[in-house]
Amino acid sequence: MADVAAASLFGADRRLCSADILAPAEVRARIEVAVLNFLSALASPTSPAISVLPLISRTSANCSLRSSLLSDVSSVYLSYAFCKRSLMRENNAKAFVRVWKVMEMCYKILGEGKLVHQRELFYKLLSDSPKYFSCQRHVNRAIQDVVSLLRCTRQSLGVMASSRGALIGRLVLHEPDEEQIDCSILGASGHAITGDLNVLSKLNLSSDARYIIVMEKDAIFQRLAEDRLYNQLPCILITAKGYPDIATRFILHRLSQTFPNMPIFALVDWNPAGLAILCTYKYGSISMGLESYRYACNVKWLGLRGDDLQLIPESAFQELKPRDSQIAKSLLSSKFLQS
């Protein structure tokens, strides 16, 4: 499989790896090359073998931050270091098979000219191969493995992540051949953000807002939407209702590109999870390091600081849970807070 890594089809800058946006035919061609390399190794007359799958490593050791030359945005990037999926290793034999199963399904989907949601893909694979896909996490990880192998975006594979996001405020959305949507006259739930990045990329955006405010909590979003905050403070409100999904990050990035002078503020909880959410909007994530630069924005922290804690009664504090401590340790050891 070393030939696959070296092939021009999968070529990458050895200092910076990224996932390409590809047409369905080219993604299918890359899958075919992977299959041919696998069969070639298996049919070798001298030393037949089941080849390993060389994936770009998605770990903190292979991760750094890069700054844009043309803007003040920094994003996660992955270097040219490999991890491997092998059928011959007991601890990742199933992961090896999952990669091939997902590529098989994506090859079929792209050939039919379709898109599927990640959840829909899980049910298809659960029905087809229940031994290998017992939970959504298996599908999510296998998709990222395929992205790391083929160096193409998840959307290029024909897979859409489900979107939880919504936005409201001083923004007009106009999709070609569709009626425009004035987000300032919507109900408190706002406009649901589609998970189809192709649709989001074609939207025409217009706004007279001065700020963009990203909120972690849907309850805060709905409260400010009910109060029509954007009428007093000309702004666009947006939320992913928790940890940011791809579609919400994508539309936020589009807003930042369309309105480069409009500052973006993030209102998140004062805890490790809130800081992790802020960092994901601002820098991207290691697990999606091949695509992070496509979604990163110069997001500023809006909310409490350490000096403000003296103003808050002790009854308002909560003990950190084990999950909080785990997130805090991960953040402290990451390059996000060391840069």
Q: Among 37, 42, 247, which Cα is nearest to 150's?
A: 37
Q: Give dist(CA 186, CA 214) in Å, integer.
A: 18
In whole angstroms, how far apart are CA 203 and each of 61, 210, 245, 286? 37, 20, 19, 28
| Cα–Cα distance for residue pair 78/86, rounded to 1 Å | 22
Determine which one of 77, 80, 123, 230 is catalytic: 123
How far is CA 167 from each of CA 39, 229, 278, rounded to the nearest angstrom? 48, 13, 17
Active-site residue flag, 211? no
Q: Which residues are catalytic?
A: 123
